[in-house]
Structure 1
Amino acid sequence: MSTTGVSAKVTLGEKTAEFPLLTGTLGQDVLDIRRIAADLDVFTFDPGYGETAACESKITFIDGEKGVLLHRGYPIEQLAERATFPEVAYLLLYGELPDKAKSAEFEQVIKSHTLLHEQIRNFFNGFRRDAHPMAIMCGTVGGLSAFYHDGIDISNEASRELSALRLIAKIPTIAAWAYKYTVGEPFVYPRNDLTYAENFLSMMFAKPSEPYVVNPVLARAMDRILILHADHEQNASTSTVRLAGSTGANPFACIAAGIAALWGPAHGGANEAVLKMLAEIGHRDNIPAFIEKVKDKNSGVRLMGFGHRVYKNFDPRAKIMQATCHEVLNELGIKDDPLLDLAVELERIAVEDEYFVKRKLYPNVDFYSGIILKAMGIPTSMFTVLFAVARTTGWISQWKEMIEEPGQRIGRPRQLYTGSPRRDIPASL
């Protein structure tokens, strides 16, 4: 971040102040209003913080107008094609892609932390069998701080590093065990002879009573899905992790807070909503009538899986997910999947319809991911959990960056108070 030499002069009544314009490596310039209260005695009003930069970061850059997503400068398309998820995790954490030696070493370190403390098994027994896996994730991840005391000293660099590695390694184990618990199957322990994605699939679907061989096509698809969801700048859950972390909370608590924020249907549940929408449409012949309902503002019907809060052009992850979808369905021999048939036709109509084109409502990453996960045998209740498995790498990278930033301050948003003015309790009371 540097000063452009340009400033904005603001006059409010008899007070005048100048605010410098800051520039980053990429993206829009930012007006530095840190002294606006001191100089003009006012605050800014920005519900949802959509126009406010709350931090400086070197991790992820998005250009929503051009459909660009970069992790440490590398395009997501190249990372999804040429890198593995652990390599992307390394990149997010340390700023550079690892060479072969560092990659092998990093994967081995991650594998050494995949096991959970055996007493953590008792956590699962405390939940009802019909508990949502995200509820189990929130509680169990938050409870990790009760077991790994040597990783909660945030003032110590080695401690922060250890917690980051543990979280990346243990989240898939917790996620898979949450699934196993809800379906009443025995827990499957992690295997160090498998890759990160293979290990997760093994813990999800293997059974002690029979051998399980991971399908390499499905493993690669899972690896790609994790990469595409690894980080996405200052979204709601990432901002939650940073805000919680600014208080000095331990990293396990911060990631649990991120999981809770991700659980919201407006954030992590979009791919599940796509499947629900396709099921409600039912048949491709019903698509035109459905499209008309979407266009009717009074119908309350929304087109799920299209458009994005940030991307005003196309979601660069969507095309990768579309290709992955076809790879998975071909591998599984699913040629006449009704949901895919519906999805393809719905996409064709929507991208050609002037109503959606004018509003730049293009397919996003959620449009095809739900179909892929369903085809792989992953239930809809686990979709957001899988999102959390991937996003943990971004969360913990953002958390580390924030903690290590000089002059880091506790988050404290202001408000516009519209309640009752001061009043006194009547003497009659």
Structure 2
Amino acid sequence: MVNAQPPKNMLTVRDNRTGKVVDIPIQDNSIPATAFKVLKAPRAEGEREENETEKGLRIADKGFLNTAVIRSEITFIDGDAGVLRYRGFPIEQLATKSSHLETAYLLIYGSLPTASQYKVWQDEVLHHGVMHSDAEQFFKSFRYDAHPMAMLTSAFAYLGSYYSEANPSLQGQKLFTKGDPESLAVMDKQIYRLIGKATTLAAMAYRVRQGRNFVTPPTGLSYTGSFLYQMDHLGEENYKPHPVLEKALDVLFLLHADHELNASATTVLQTGSSLVDPYSAIAAGCASLYGPLHGGANEAVIRMLISIGKPENVPGFLEAVKRKDKVLSGFGHRVYKTSDPRSFIVRQIADEVFRVTGKDELLETAMALHHEAMKDDYFVKRKLAPNVDFWSGLIYRAMGFPLDFFPVLFAVPRVVGWLAHWRQMMLQEGGVKIWRPRQIYVGPGKRDYVAVDERVAEEGPRLTPSPVVHSG
């Protein structure tokens, strides 16, 4: 008698609590988390009812370290090999041969456009860059020292108030999920608007803090050329941004356009899964990117280099990092375990920019830090190589952008990636299911209400609210 062998594309799991054995299919090197729900067991003696043991096994994955939430065709990353591809195209090829707007088409629609397709795409995006005149009053309502990311996040949400046609709450839940020509046309129009107006909103956030009048997007310039024009134009006749700086910013935009399911992209999808309008979803992504663990890293690099000062201070700084007295910004990555492929491209761009702007005084310090860290076993063993943020901050600084504007320069191009993932989810087979993660409840079991005069005070800094000292 021949023993039957289970198929190789199966994971066999035995629950030692009950002896039950289940075969779970493996597809694309993944298993469905819901398959574990069949592993139910009676509650053990003394076990908390809140564990819900009788309802099946749950998967715990704090921070989504190994949980796939969607099937995607957009971006592939191999962190161990230092590989980044948009729709199959290596980022190195796109950075040298393509443009941000062409790559945006690729990310959103899946292929590189023909000349005629690209003309329609570029014309529509640039045409939709103009803002309603009411936006001037909106931006001027912020305090003079408001952070530009706070303004940009608010502006994306504000933008949605103009377009009731784009709101599934008003037009029907299937507005973006039907996939028919009419639905796709409505979706495309919002994509044009969001990408086209992203640079305009960013430029308005910049100029309002400079006390300057706003500039209407010009005609005849590229996407990044138009952005620089709106920021820099002061009434000069026939003004055009410097072509080297325009090209450098375009490549930086391309490199930052998407990076798979990072925190902000995941936020856009989580928010979008409720079928909210795309403007609200993009605003949520912008808020996520605002955090210092995400979009603020290139700003942190410059502040770190300023704190180090001169190249001769680098060894002492690195020793402080080893003692965990200091934080090393711009090195290492949640995904890349060798090197960030974007960092090599950005380093080349930096040389071109510095030939125009002059060398940043922090460049020598940055190069010394890079050199010392890369020959130190402490950082090599921990795979802490420079990432894209290490050099991009120096470029932005050399071009004259304020430090707190750096996250905006990350958010503007990332709108493309957010929209690509949002569109893919709206059109996925089987429709959209609202994202509703599980939790593991470890709080108190059932307890009875106690009258106020019978309660015992809970003590401790985390158990009571902090008092506030009021002035005036």
Q: Same fold (TM over 0.5)?
A: yes
Contact map agreement 1:117 1:147 (CA 8 A) in 2: no
What residue is the counterpart of 2:464 in the other structure? none
- Residue aligned with 2:9, SS: strand
Q: How much has 1:39 moved relative to structure 2?
A: 4.3
Amino acid at match of 1:328: V
Amino acid at match of 2:77: I
Identity %: 43
Q: How much has 1:273 moved relative to structure 2?
A: 0.3
- Which protein is bigger by CA-based radius of gyration? 2
What residue is the counterpart of 1:22 in the other structure? 27
What residue is the counterpart of 2:413 in the other structure? 390
What residue is the counterpart of 2:44 in the other structure? none
Mapped pair 1:376 → 2:399: yes
**Per-residue Cα deviation, 1:386-416 (whole angstroms, up to 9, x for no partner):** 1110100000110000111122210001111
Q: How much has 1:59 moved relative to structure 2?
A: 0.3
Q: From 409, 420, 425, give the equivalent of 2:433.
A: 409
Amino acid at match of 1:154: F
What residue is the counterpart of 1:228 in the other structure? 255
Give the whole-Å Cα distance in 1 for the aligned partners of 2:355 and 2:34. Answer: 54
Give the whole-Å Cα distance in 2 for the aligned partners of 1:361 and 1:108. Answer: 42
Which of structure 1's runs of 4+ aligned residues deviate more than 4 A?
Answer: none
Q: From 255, 258, 261, give the equivalent of 2:282.
A: 255
- Residue aligned with 1:268, SS: coil
Contact map agreement 1:347 1:363 (CA 8 A) in 2: yes
Q: How much has 1:5 moved relative to structure 2?
A: 2.8
Contact map agreement 1:188 1:208 (CA 8 A) in 2: no
Give the whole-Å Cα distance in 2 for the aligned partners of 1:34 and 1:78. Answer: 39
Q: How much has 1:34 moved relative to structure 2?
A: 2.1
What residue is the counterpart of 1:161 in the other structure? 188
Q: How much has 1:7 moved relative to structure 2?
A: 2.6
What residue is the counterpart of 2:48 in the other structure? none
Give RMSD over aligned pairs. Answer: 1.5
What residue is the counterpart of 1:31 in the other structure? 31
What residue is the counterpart of 2:334 in the other structure? 309
Give the whole-Å Cα distance in 1 for the aligned partners of 2:159 and 2:176. Answer: 15
Contact map agreement 2:130 2:216 (CA 8 A) in 1: yes
Give the whole-Å Cα distance in 1 for the aligned partners of 2:328 and 2:155. Answer: 35
Tell me the TM-score normalized by structure 2: 0.86
- Residue aligned with 1:143, SS: helix
| 1:415–1:102 Cα change, 3 Å | same
Mapped pair 1:133 → 2:155: no
Q: From 221, 225, 228, give the equivalent of 1:198.
A: 225
Amino acid at match of 1:213: K
Q: How much has 1:77 moved relative to structure 2?
A: 0.6
Give the whole-Å Cα distance in 2 for the aligned partners of 1:83 and 1:392. Answer: 18
| 1:55–1:10 Cα change, 3 Å | farther
Q: From 324, 330, 345, give the equivalent of 1:320.
A: 345
Q: From 231, 240, 246, give the equivalent of 1:213.
A: 240
Contact map agreement 2:15 2:39 (CA 8 A) in 1: no
| 1:4–1:375 Cα change, 3 Å | farther
- Residue aligned with 1:237, SS: helix
Q: From 443, 446, 449, give the equivalent of 1:419.
A: 443
Give the whole-Å Cα distance in 2 for the aligned partners of 1:324 and 1:10. Answer: 54
Give the whole-Å Cα distance in 2 for the aligned partners of 1:269 and 1:12. Answer: 47
Mapped pair 1:189 → 2:216: yes
Give the whole-Å Cα distance in 1 for the aligned partners of 2:14 and 2:242. Answer: 62
Give the paired residue count.
Answer: 418
Q: Which runs of 5+ in 1 are unaligned?
A: 24-28
Give the whole-Å Cα distance in 2 for the aligned partners of 1:12 and 1:158. Answer: 54
What residue is the counterpart of 1:355 in the other structure? 378
Q: How much has 1:296 moved relative to structure 2?
A: 1.1
Mapped pair 1:178 → 2:201: no
Contact map agreement 2:12 2:21 (CA 8 A) in 1: no
- Residue aligned with 2:33, SS: coil
Contact map agreement 1:262 1:384 (CA 8 A) in 2: yes
What residue is the counterpart of 1:269 in the other structure? 296
Contact map agreement 2:176 2:427 (CA 8 A) in 1: no
| 1:381–1:45 Cα change, 3 Å | same
Q: How much has 1:8 moved relative to structure 2?
A: 3.3
Give the whole-Å Cα distance in 1 for the aligned partners of 2:8 and 2:401. Answer: 50
Contact map agreement 2:10 2:23 (CA 8 A) in 1: no
- Residue aligned with 2:22, SS: strand
- Which deviates more from structure 2 when the two are superposed, residues 306-315 or residues 147-156? 147-156
| 1:10–1:73 Cα change, 3 Å | farther
Contact map agreement 2:214 2:230 (CA 8 A) in 1: yes
Q: Which runs of 5+ in 2 are unaligned?
A: 1-6, 41-55, 168-174, 178-182, 455-472
Q: From 108, 129, 133, give the equivalent of 1:114.
A: 129
- Residue aligned with 1:7, SS: strand
